[in-house]
C-alpha cells in the first residue's frame, strides 16, 4: 500500500497540527474546490506560464500569473479571471486531485474536465481541452496542449478590435456580445469535477465552492518512505497487473508526481503549535530523461530540480472577527479592463492516454464556474509567501477545522461550520470610499488581487497593509487604475502599462 504526497513541483507541506497538514501552493495561487460541508479541499487548478527557451524566469521574460475572483452571475455560477502579465505567453493548466486516498488503489479518483462550452458533463470523456482527465488521489497533471485542436500547445494572446486595431478589453468584448447577440471573442473555460462512484468522499461534492488560495489545510497524509527503485518497480508492476497498455516516448509532455512518494523533510521545530516540516532550503535533482508510466498510462519525462525559495516575511494585520462587512457586491470590477485574449496554438504535443474503466457519479458535481483568460501587462506581484508566513496565516483556519471536527451536537456543528466557511468563501465587493479612511472624498482607485476587491485609495496604502481590509485575503498583487481619468473606473484606459505599481 503506497500513500503518495502531493506533487512537490506545485505544492509544499509546511507544517502539521493534530491530524491536519498545511500545504503551500508554489509560485502561483491555485483555484481550489472546497466542500462547504466540512471544509475539505477536493481538487484544484492553477494557471502557470511555461518555462521555455525564449520565455524564462531567469532572464525575466516569462510571465507571472494568478486567478482572481469576479462577482457570480445571475444564475449563481462563480466567475474567475486568469491573468498573465505577458502577451503571447505559453501557458499550462495544472489540475490536481487533493483527496488524501491510497494512490495505487482504484479508489477516490476524480474526473476533471475543462470545457469550452457551458454544459453538464454526463460521460467520462466529454471532449474538453484536456485529453487526460482522470486523476488518482494526490495526483497532478499539467495540461500543455488543447485536445480540441489536435493537442497543439497553448499560447495566450490579446485580441484586437476590428475597427481600429486597438486591443480589446474584457468589458468591451462582453458588451459587444450582449448588443450583437454573438458569442464573446475572448477565452472562457468551464470547469467540472465529479467523484468516482463509491468514493467515501463522493458526498462532499453535493455542496462545493471554488476559492483562489495561496495555501490550504487538509487531513494529513502519511507518506510511505520508498526509494526511487522500489517505488519504480512497485508502480510499474501495479500498472502491468492492471493490464495497462504501455506506449512509446513522449515529447517533453505532462508532469506528474510518480517519483514523489517519499517524505524527506527535516523537522526543525514547533511554530505556535504547528510542526514546521521543511528545512530552510532543499534542492533535489531528479534523474535526467526519466521515462515513467502512470496508472493513467501517461508517459512522461522528468528533468527538474526542486528548489525551495525563501522570501522575507512581513506581519499581516487581521481584521477583528466582530467587524461587520458593510459592503455589497458590485458586478463591474476593473479586472474587466484586462485585455480580452484568445488561445493561440503552436506545435503539436504527443499525449498518450487510455480508459481506466472507472465509473463516475455525474449527479454529484462541482459548483458551476467559468474562468476567463486575459492579459494584463505590467501587473506587479508581491513575493511568494514563505513557510513561516503560511503557518501564521493558516492558524485560524486550522483551529476552526479542528474545533468543527470535535463537535457532535448538530446545532453547534452548524455554528462551527459558519466559521470555517468565512475562510473559504469569497464575494467580490466594491465601495465608493476608501475603507481605510471612510472619507467620501477618498475614492478607491486600487484593485487587490486575488480577492478582486476595489476598496482602497492608493495614497492610503502603507507597507503594513499586506491583506485586504474587507476579506483579509493576502495582497498577492494590486493594480492602481488611472487616477486622472474622468470616466467611471470600470472603463479606464485599455493600456494599463505604466499605471501598475507594487507595494514594497
Task: Please report the DSSP string for 57-103 in residue order.
Answer: TTTT-SPPEEEEEE---TT--EEEEEEESSTTEEEEEEEEE-----T
Q: Answer whether residue 475 shows pLDDT above 90.
A: no
Residue 428 lies in a domain: no
Which residue is it, cell 457532535? 408
Q: What's the rounded Cα separation, in Å, for the pair 32 and 29?
A: 9
Residue 393 lies in a domain: no
Using one digit for the tens of pLDDT, what is the confidence trace for 210-262? Answer: 999 999 999 887 665 443 333 333 333 333 333 332 222 233 334 344 333 33
Residue 355 lies in a domain: yes
For 320, residues 6+ apart whose C-beta sits below 8 A from its C-beta are none
Residue 273 lies in a domain: yes
Quote the domain boundaries for residue 96: 11-375
* Closest to 195 in 3D by CA, of 371, 5, 38, 363: 363
Residue 423 lies in a domain: no
For 29, residues 6+ apart whose C-beta sits below 8 A from its C-beta are 46, 66, 67, 212, 213, 214, 450, 476
* 3 state DSSP class of 341: strand
Residue 408 lies in a domain: no
Task: Give the pLDDT mean for 83-100.
Answer: 90
Selected residue with higher pLDDT from 486 and 464: 464
Q: Answer whether residue 357 shows pLDDT above 70.
A: yes
Q: Answer whether residue 488 shows pLDDT above 50.
A: no
Residue 405 lies in a domain: no
Q: What percent of the chain has pLDDT over 90?
A: 31
* Closest to 279 in 3D by CA, of 79, 4, 17, 13: 13
Q: How many structural domains are present in the chain? A: 1
* 3 state DSSP class of 449: strand
Using one digit for the tens of pLDDT, what is the confidence trace for 100-152? Answer: 877 677 889 999 999 999 999 999 999 999 989 999 999 999 999 888 888 78
Which pLDDT score is estimated for 275? 57
Which pLDDT score is estimated for 25? 96
Selected residue with higher pLDDT from 387 and 3: 387
* Closest to 74 in 3D by CA, of 326, 328, 327, 331: 331
If you average pLDDT over each of 52-61, 74-83, 421-430, which comes out highest? 74-83
Residue 494 lies in a domain: no
Selected residue with higher pLDDT from 242 and 1: 1
Whether the bond between 386 and the residue before it is cis, its omega within 30 degrees of 0, is: no
Q: E-assigned strands of 321-363?
A: 328-329, 339-348
What average pLDDT does the chain have?
A: 70
pTM of the entire predicted model: 0.69
CB burial string 201-224: b at 16+ within 10 A, e below? bbebbeebbbbbbbbbbbeebebb
Amino acid at each position: 500500500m503506497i500513500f503518495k504526497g502531493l506533487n512537490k513541483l506545485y505544492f509544499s507541506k509546511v507544517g502539521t497540527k493534530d491530524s491536519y497538514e498545511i500545504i503551500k501552493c508554489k509560485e502561483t495561487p491555485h483555484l481550489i474546490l472546497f466542500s462547504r460541508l466540512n471544509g475539505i479541499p477536493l481538487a484544484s487548478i492553477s494557471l502557470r506560464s511555461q518555462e521555455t527557451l525564449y520565455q524564462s524566469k531567469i532572464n525575466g521574460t516569462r510571465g507571472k500569473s494568478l486567478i482572481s475572483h469576479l462577482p457570480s452571475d445571475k444564475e449563481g455560477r462563480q466567475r474567475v479571471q486568469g491573468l498573465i502579465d505577458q502577451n503571447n505567453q505559453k501557458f499550462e493548466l495544472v489540475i490536481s486531485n487533493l483527496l488524501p486516498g491510497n494512490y495505487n488503489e482504484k479508489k477516490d479518483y476524480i474526473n476533471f474536465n475543462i470545457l469550452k462550452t457551458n454544459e453538464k458533463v454526463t460521460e467520462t470523456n466529454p471532449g474538453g481541452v484536456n485529453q487526460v482527465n482522470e486523476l488518482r488521489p494526490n495526483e497532478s497533471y499539467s495540461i500543455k496542449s488543447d485536445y480540441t485542436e489536435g493537442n497543439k500547445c497553448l499560447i495566450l494572446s490579446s485580441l484586437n478590435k476590428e475597427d481600429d486595431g486597438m486591443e480589446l478589453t474584457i468589458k468591451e468584448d462582453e458588451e459587444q456580445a450582449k448588443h450583437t447577440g454573438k458569442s464573446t471573442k475572448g477565452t472562457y473555460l468551464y470547469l467540472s469535477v465529479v467523484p468516482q462512484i463509491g468514493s467515501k468522499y463522493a458526498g462532499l461534492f453535493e455542496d462545493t465552492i471554488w476559492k483562489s488560495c495561496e495555501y490550504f489545510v487538509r487531513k494529513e497524509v502519511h507518506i510511505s518512505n520508498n526509494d526511487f527503485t522500489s517505488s519504480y518497480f512497485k508502480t510499474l508492476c501495479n500498472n502491468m497487473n492492471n493490464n495497462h497498455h504501455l506506449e512509446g516516448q513522449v515529447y517533453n509532455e505532462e508532469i506528474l508526481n510518480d517519483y514523489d512518494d517519499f517524505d524527506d523533510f527535516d523537522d526543525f521545530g514547533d511554530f505556535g503549535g504547528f510542526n514546521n516540516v521543511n528545512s530552510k532550503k532543499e534542492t533535489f535533482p531528479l534523474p535526467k530523461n526519466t521515462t515513467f508510466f502512470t496508472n493513467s498510462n501517461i508517459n512522461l519525462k522528468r528533468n527538474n530540480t526542486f528548489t525551495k525559495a525563501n522570501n522575507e516575511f512581513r506581519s499581516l494585520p487581521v481584521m477583528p472577527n466582530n467587524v461587520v462587512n458593510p459592503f455589497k457586491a458590485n458586478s463591474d470590477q476593473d479586472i474587466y479592463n484586462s485585455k480580452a485574449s484568445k488561445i493561440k496554438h503552436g506545435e503539436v504535443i504527443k499525449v498518450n492516454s487510455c480508459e481506466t474503466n472507472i465509473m463516475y457519479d455525474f449527479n454529484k458535481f462541482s459548483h458551476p464556474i467559468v474562468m476567463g483568460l486575459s492579459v494584463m501587462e505590467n501587473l506587479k506581484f508581491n513575493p511568494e509567501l514563505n513557510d513561516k508566513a503560511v503557518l501564521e496565516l493558516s492558524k485560524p483556519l486550522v483551529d476552526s477545522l479542528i474545533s468543527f471536527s470535535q463537535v457532535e451536537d448538530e446545532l453547534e456543528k452548524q455554528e462551527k461550520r459558519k466559521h470555517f466557511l468565512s475562510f473559504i468563501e469569497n464575494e467580490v465587493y466594491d465601495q465608493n470610499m476608501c475603507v481605510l479612511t471612510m472619507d467620501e472624498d477618498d475614492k478607491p482607485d486600487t484593485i487587490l488581487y486575488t480577492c478582486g476587491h476595489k476598496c482602497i485609495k492608493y495614497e492610503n496604502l502603507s507597507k503594513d497593509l499586506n491583506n485586504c481590509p474587507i476579506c483579509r485575503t493576502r495582497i498577492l498583487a494590486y493594480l492602481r487604475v488611472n487616477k486622472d481619468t474622468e470616466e467611471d473606473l470600470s472603463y479606464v484606459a485599455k493600456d494599463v502599462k505604466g499605471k501598475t505599481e507594487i507595494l514594497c
